Amino acid sequence: MRAHRTAFNLTQLAILVALAAWLMAGCATVTGFVVTGESLDSVGKAFVTVGQTYNRELDAKRVTPEQYRDWAVFARKFQQAYPSSVQLWKSAVAVNDAALTKKTNEIITSLVTELSRLGSVVGVQVLGGT
């Protein structure tokens, strides 16, 4: 049973490493962002706020369809990556796996960086944003 669990965690880590490389390509980092349970909850709420603001701004024609498309592409990526990254982060913290915690912190921070950039387009400041 333990060997199976280790293999599963290594598989998850490999997926997250690939995801991190993809997400972090060309991204600046968010300054001052620390991953905690509370900050993770705040990021989820900020994602909803930014999405609602983009919808309102598109309806009011204050963002272009191209700007909205950038948001929509990121939103799909966030919706896929964020929940599993948060769950893996919680697991890594629970078992005190420093390497896995560090990797998931990097992934979550890269998502927050991009969320901050997109939020700034519609005037929403995201936790830890630049």
74 pLDDT band, cuts 50/70/90, is very high
**CB 118, CB 70: distance < 8 Å:** yes
Is residue 130 assigned to a domain?
no
User: 89: alpha, beta or left, given left = phi > 0 and alpha = psi -120 to 50?
Assistant: alpha
pLDDT at residue 123, rounded to an integer: 94
Is residue 86 assigned to a domain?
yes
Q: Output the DSSP codes for 14-65.
A: HHHHHHHHHHHTTPPPPTT----HHHHHHHHHHHHHHHHHHHHHHHTT-S-H
Is residue 127 assigned to a domain?
no
Is residue 129 assigned to a domain?
no
Q: How many domains does the chain have?
A: 1
- Tens of pLDDT along 21-73? 444 444 434 444 567 777 788 889 999 999 999 999 999 999 999 999 999 99
Is residue 56 assigned to a domain?
yes
Query: Does 103 score more than 90 pLDDT?
Result: no
Is residue 27 assigned to a domain?
no
**Mean pLDDT of the chain, nearest integer:** 79
Is residue 97 assigned to a domain?
yes
| Domain span holding position 82 | 2-22+36-121
Is residue 31 assigned to a domain?
no
